[in-house]
Structures are given as C-alpha cells and as structure tokens.
Amino acid sequence: MVKSRHFLCLLICWTAIGAGKGLPQTLDSYSPVAKWQRNALAATLVSVVKAIIAQQRSDGALVMGDRPPYRLSPYVANYAAMGLLDAYRITHDPGLLQAVKRWQEWYIAHMNADGTIYDYSGDIGAWRSTNDYDSTDAYAATFMELAWKYLQVAKDPSWEQKLLAVLPKLANSVCLTLQTNGLTMAKPRYPAMYTMDNVEVYKGWVAAAEFAQKMHRPQLARLYRHRARSTLEAINTLLWISDSRGRGHFLVGRQADGVGIEVKQPMVWYPDQMAQLMAIAWLPKTNETRALYFALRKQALYLPSKLMTEDELGRVVWWALAAETVGDKPTVSRILQLLMAAPKTLSTVIDIGLEGHVCDILAHALTSGY
C-alpha cells in the first residue's frame, strides 16, 4: 500500500490557487447560507483542491502517494480531475482547467490501441505499466464524463477536437465487455456485471451523447443515447430486485451465467451499501430509489462525531451524494459540518478520487444553499 499523505491542509490564503480574485463576492450571489458557513465551505474546498493539485506531477499524471514510486489509477485520477472542474465552477481559476487538460493529455498518451488504459506505478520518465486495470468499462466511462465536463467550462477548440477524436476509442473500451443483455462486465477476464460499474457506464454514455451533440455529431449522439437507455433499462430490470413488500434493492451484480450476486443480510458497507448509494446518487431519481434511500438511512446511516479515517470519509461522501439526489437536506447538512471540521480531525488519505467527490459535494453546497 502506498504511503498516506496529509489531507485537507486548511488553506486560508486564497491566492495559493488563484481563488482570491473575487471568490467571496461570487459566493455572496448564491442562495442564502450564513456567511461564516460559506467562508468555511469555500476554505475547505480550496484546501481539497490544493491537496489534489499537490498530487499532479509535471507531466500531468495525477498520482497517489507522497514519494516515488507513485501509484497511478486512471479511474481514481478521473474523479480527482472532475473534482477540480467542480471547484472551477466556484473559483474560476484557470489553473484548474490547465491541470485537468494536462491529466487528459497524460491519459490519452497512455491509452492502449483498444481504448483501454492500464494502471501504472513509478514517476516522470519511468512509468511502469501493471499490464492490468481494475476495469475496462468504468475507466473509459469516467473519462468520457470528464471530457464532457471539461467541454462545458473550457473554451479550447483544438483540444475539443482531440477529445472528439478519441471518443470512439473510449466507447470501444466500454463495449469490449458489453453483453447482449445490455450490461458490461468489469473487464474481459473478470466475468461479473457489477451495479457500480454499470451506473458509471450509464453516466459515461449520457456524457458521450451530450459531448457528441455539442460537437455537431448527431448520429454519434443518437448512438450513445441509445446505449445509455439500454444500460439504464438493463440496470432497472436485471440489477434491481423487488421484495414481497413492494420495496427493493440493487444487486451487487450478476455473474456471466446470469446468477445474481446478492447483498448480504444485513448489508455490509462494501460493496452492498455503497452500490445502493451510488445507484441512488447517479441514476435518474425514482420513487423506488427514493424509498430505498430512506429505508437504508433508517437501517444503516451512521455519522461519526468527527472524521478520523479515510474509510469514514468514504462512507460520508457516498451518503452525501445520495442524500443530495433525494433532497435529504438534514443529512447533507450534518455531513457538511463533518467535512468542514475535517482539516482538524482527518490527517491522511490516499484516494484522490475521493477528494474529487468531496469537491463535488462542497461546490454543490456553495451553489445550492445546503
């Protein structure tokens, strides 16, 4: 395991990332939240951004660890980069766009011919491929989402064309394991169709369709919309299980032979509860997923008095993302208090993708008034 590093070092000086130019005035234009809370949320956001930026090497790689050989998971780095884009919507710091573009350049430069990308370790000029990946579907899908998020905020025509050119390769990576039932397996030599992966695939197809549409490729946009609908239908019919009380939950996944991978009773955190929360957070909201959320909250929600470990941070992040989707403001508010106190209570974390999700939550809070 890579060495942990300092997390959320509280940054009061906005100029460290260029956020000092008008950020408080920008925040004043958002929905009414106590000024002290806005300032605390914004300070925490800048701290998380600084922590992510500190993990970017000069060649654009976004890494985990505080010294070589670094660990590099493209999947994790994609979420870290998306967090920087969420922060950009608040800070308007062009340095964040540059950091995201540099990561995208690294990713594209290291893609395999079939659109997949391996995990790496090492450092600048000495990256070593593991010749493996945690998944082929989710890596590509999250990069498609990152590309669409970048396109929405950056004005970079030549780079937009570059991203458009690699979109079919990314789509091919997802389709490497696409089954006739509409679900994807995690990777070619790992025959399981996971709920979490397929939720990310759905989001990736939606993003790819929006990207293609904006780039005036209507035929490509229609294809990706069709795939998004097919994935969503497969999730709702093959990965959702209704019970005798008219309620239901998501399976962890299905095996290649179609046998369901059931959650434990009671559900454990990973992958059972986390799969439920990811689906609730990122799929279109329905009465069924809303009911699942509140049933799960009654049975399993536990918020510590303070965040002391990365595992605790991961749990509150997924609860926050799901709570935002269903409109559970009291739970979001409680989690925000934990996140604002985290610089004093949580000293280390490895997962920069998790920090990217924290950026998402904080940026949403600053614009929505939670």
The pLDDT value given to residue 28? 42
Give the model's confidence band at 3: pLDDT under 50 very low, under 70 low, under 90 confident, else very high.
Answer: very low
Strands of the 120-122 sheet, one edge to the other: 70-72, 120-122, 128-129
The pLDDT value given to residue 125? 96
Cβ(308)–Cβ(346) below 8 Å:
yes
Residue 110 shares a structural domain with residue 223:
no
Q: What is the pLDDT of residues 280-333, one digit of tens each?
A: 999 999 999 999 999 999 999 999 999 999 999 999 999 999 999 999 999 999
**Number of domain units in the chain:** 2
Residue 124 shares a structural domain with residue 2:
yes
Examine residue 18 and state whether it is found in any structural domain, yes or no.
yes
What's the rounded mean pLDDT across residues 41-53? 96
H/E run at residue 129: strand 128-129
The pLDDT value given to residue 348? 83
Residue 336 shares a structural domain with residue 296:
no
The pLDDT value given to residue 297? 98
31 vs 306 pLDDT, higher one? 306
Whether pLDDT at 19 is above 70: no
Instruction: Indicate the range of 16-25, 121-130, 248-257 predicted with least confidence.
Output: 16-25
Q: Which two tokens stand for residue 107?
A: 């990713």
d(Cα 194, Cα 191) in Å, to the nearest integer? 10
d(Cα 306, Cα 330) in Å, to the nearest integer? 17
Examine residue 354 and state whether it is found in any structural domain, yes or no.
yes
Work out the angle at residue 360's Cα, subtended by the Cα atoms of residues 118 and 163, and round it to the nearest 5 degrees.
Answer: 45
CA gyration radius, the chain: 20
Residue written as tokens 């290649």?
Answer: 256
How far is it between the farthest Cα atoms of the chain?
Answer: 58
d(Cα 270, Cα 369) in Å, to the nearest integer? 31
The pLDDT value given to residue 369? 75
Q: Which two tokens stand for residue 352?
A: 């920069």
Residue 290 shares a structural domain with residue 312:
no
Give the model's confidence band at 23: pLDDT under 50 very low, under 70 low, under 90 confident, else very high.
Answer: very low
Give the residue from 300, 333, 356 where a domain finishes.
300
Examine residue 113 and state whether it is found in any structural domain, yes or no.
yes
Residue 108 shares a structural domain with residue 217:
no
Instruction: Indicate the range of 36-45, 58-67, 92-101 predicted with least confidence.
Output: 36-45
Cβ(320)–Cβ(359) below 8 Å:
no
Examine residue 362 and state whether it is found in any structural domain, yes or no.
yes
Whether pLDDT at 17 is above 60: no
Residue 294 shares a structural domain with residue 319:
no
Residue 110 shares a structural domain with residue 232:
no
The pLDDT value given to residue 33? 55
Could you tell me what percent of the chain has a pLDDT over 90?
86
Give the residue from 300, 322, 357 where a domain finishes.
300
Residues contacting residue 314 through CB under 8 Å, at least 6 positions apart: 351, 354
Whether pLDDT at 338 is above 90: yes
Residue 295 shares a structural domain with residue 347:
no
Give the model's confidence band at 217: pLDDT under 50 very low, under 70 low, under 90 confident, else very high.
Answer: very high
Instruction: Indicate the range of 2-11, 105-114, 123-132, 236-245 predicted with least confidence.
Output: 2-11
The pLDDT value given to residue 343? 78
Cβ(85)–Cβ(78) below 8 Å:
no
Residue 202 shares a structural domain with residue 328:
no
Mean pLDDT of the chain: 91
Whether pLDDT at 1 is above 70: no
Domain of 330, in residue numbers: 1-134+303-370
H/E run at residue 6: strand 5-6
Whether pLDDT at 247 is above 50: yes
Q: Can you say how many angstroms the Cα of residue 34 is from the centroid of all Cα atoms in its chain?
A: 28
Residue 187 shares a structural domain with residue 275:
yes
Examine residue 167 and state whether it is found in any structural domain, yes or no.
no
Examine residue 175 and state whether it is found in any structural domain, yes or no.
no
Examine residue 274 and state whether it is found in any structural domain, yes or no.
yes
Residue 121 shares a structural domain with residue 211:
no
The pLDDT value given to residue 198? 98
Whether pLDDT at 31 is above 60: no
Residue 34 shares a structural domain with residue 130:
yes
Whether pLDDT at 202 is above 90: yes
Give the residue from 300, 322, 344 where a domain finishes.
300
